[in-house]
């Protein structure tokens, strides 16, 4: 039997582009990070196919970017924002950077495609999809101290004691990369009075029992306020309100839910605490006169009356008599008063 040779034709099929140099690796940055390279500077691509398609033209298109609240992808100039669906040159891709936004933590993806001009006929593939994940790690706020609450006069009226905004309490005292912060109240006990909080125009609420595992979280905004209501007749300086700075990355504002056991590092709470001081100035209180009763005999030479009173601020300095009994009366410096009734009238002659 004679051999027959049949020709076989293999039709070329386009292969997807290949990365020939560099890496596409995940990126980790800290909260509030400035422009940070995506690490794409060493990237190089060809048309694929083991070098047989090296002459193909390539197009680089960004297919996905993080939300603006998370952060921005920018070109090497540090200002031009990279947008999804836009084609960029290879040098642009290599110089791309990430600038963290308001997010304090989390992960988002950055994706781009490399497309050659070999087409997709006969089942060919002309697209290489690339992706990397950007992760932001929270940075705990730093607390330098506390501003004092407004000075109060002893026994202030409740309506006049409006306290202080949390924002004013920590103004200039907190540093946080994202610039979002509040306080975690971890102590509010005092023998001199009671600490209160309120949001907007809601009723004042006593802090009650708070601590490291059940702190009260309050945002430093235009609504949240704190105040101190001193005990009756107390004056002095109190530092019973103890707090940490809180950046809002964990916990629920307004609820007794903050667990401040872990602080600093990547936690939502500052490593340091601060005590808010409030000064209550003394106000003189009116003394209280004690009731006086006395008995005597008619025509007695004198009846001694001892005056008495109480004063929470100290001792009684003097007494002022509002009325005297009929007859003669005088006061001694002690002070005491005596009174002698007038003699009985002489009976009329018969």
**DSSP per residue, 174-197:** EE-TT---EEEEEE---SSEEEEE
Residue-wise pLDDT tens digits, 137-172: 999 999 999 999 999 999 999 999 999 999 999 999
Distance in angstroms (rounded) separating the CA atoms of residues 283 and 150: 16
Can you give the pTM of this predicted structure? Answer: 0.74
Superfamily covering domain 18-137: Immunoglobulins (2.60.40.10)
- Give me 90's structure tokens: 């290879």
Distance in angstroms (rounded) separating the CA atoms of residues 180 and 169: 15
Distance in angstroms (rounded) separating the CA atoms of residues 156 and 305: 37
Residue-wise pLDDT tens digits, 227-280: 999 999 999 999 999 999 999 998 888 766 789 999 999 999 999 999 999 999
Over 80: is that where the pLDDT of 299 sits? no
Q: What is the mean pLDDT of residues 96-117?
A: 95
Residue-wise pLDDT tens digits, 308-331: 777 666 677 676 766 666 655 555
3-class state of residue 227 by DSSP: strand
Distance in angstroms (rounded) separating the CA atoms of residues 41 and 22: 7
Q: Give ranges for CATH 2.60.40.10 in the chain.
A: 18-137
pLDDT at 50: 72
Distance in angstroms (rounded) separating the CA atoms of residues 158 and 313: 22
Q: In what order do the strands lie in the sheet with 193-199?
A: 164-165, 224-230, 193-199, 205-206
Residue-averaged pLDDT of the chain: 87
- pLDDT band, residue 306 (cuts 50/70/90): confident
Residue-wise pLDDT tens digits, 202-218: 899 999 899 999 999 99
């Amino acid at each position: 039997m004679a051999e027959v040779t049949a020709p076989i034709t293999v039709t070329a099929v386009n292969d997807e582009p290949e990365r020939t140099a560099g890496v596409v690796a995940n990126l980790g940055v800290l909260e509030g990070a400035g422009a940070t390279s995506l690490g794409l500077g060493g990237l190089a691509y060809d048309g694929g196919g083991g070098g047989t398609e090296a002459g193909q033209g390539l197009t680089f298109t960004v297919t996905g970017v993080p939300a603006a609240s998370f952060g921005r992808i920018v070109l090497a100039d540090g200002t031009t924002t990279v947008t999804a669906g836009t084609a960029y040159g290879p040098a642009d891709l290599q110089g791309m950077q990430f600038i963290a936004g308001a997010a304090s933590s989390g992960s988002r993806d950055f994706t781009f495609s490399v497309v050659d001009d070999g087409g997709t006929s006969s089942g060919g593939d002309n697209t290489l999809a690339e992706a990397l994940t950007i992760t932001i790690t929270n940075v705990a706020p730093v607390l330098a101290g506390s501003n004092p609450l407004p000075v109060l006069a002893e026994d202030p009226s409740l309506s006049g004691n409006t306290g202080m905004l949390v924002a004013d309490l920590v103004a200039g005292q907190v540093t946080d990369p994202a610039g979002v912060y509040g306080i975690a109240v971890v102590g509010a006990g005092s023998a001199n009075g009671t600490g209160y909080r309120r949001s907007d125009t809601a009723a004042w609420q006593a802090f009650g029992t708070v601590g490291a595992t059940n702190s009260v979280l309050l945002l430093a905004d235009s609504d949240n306020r704190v105040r101190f209501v001193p005990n009756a007749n107390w004056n002095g300086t109190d530092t019973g309100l103890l707090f940490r700075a809180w950046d809002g990355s964990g916990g629920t504002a307004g609820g007794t839910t903050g667990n401040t056991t872990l602080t600093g590092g990547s936690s939502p709470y500052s490593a340091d605490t601060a005590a808010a001081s409030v000064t209550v100035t003394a106000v003189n209180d009116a003394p209280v006169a004690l009731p006086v009763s006395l008995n005597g005999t008619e025509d007695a030479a004198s009846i001694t009356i001892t005056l008495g009173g109480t004063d929470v601020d100290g001792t009684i300095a003097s007494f002022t008599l509002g009325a005297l009994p009929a007859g003669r009366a005088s006061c001694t410096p002690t002070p005491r008063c005596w009174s002698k009734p007038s003699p009985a009238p002489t009976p009329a002659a018969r």
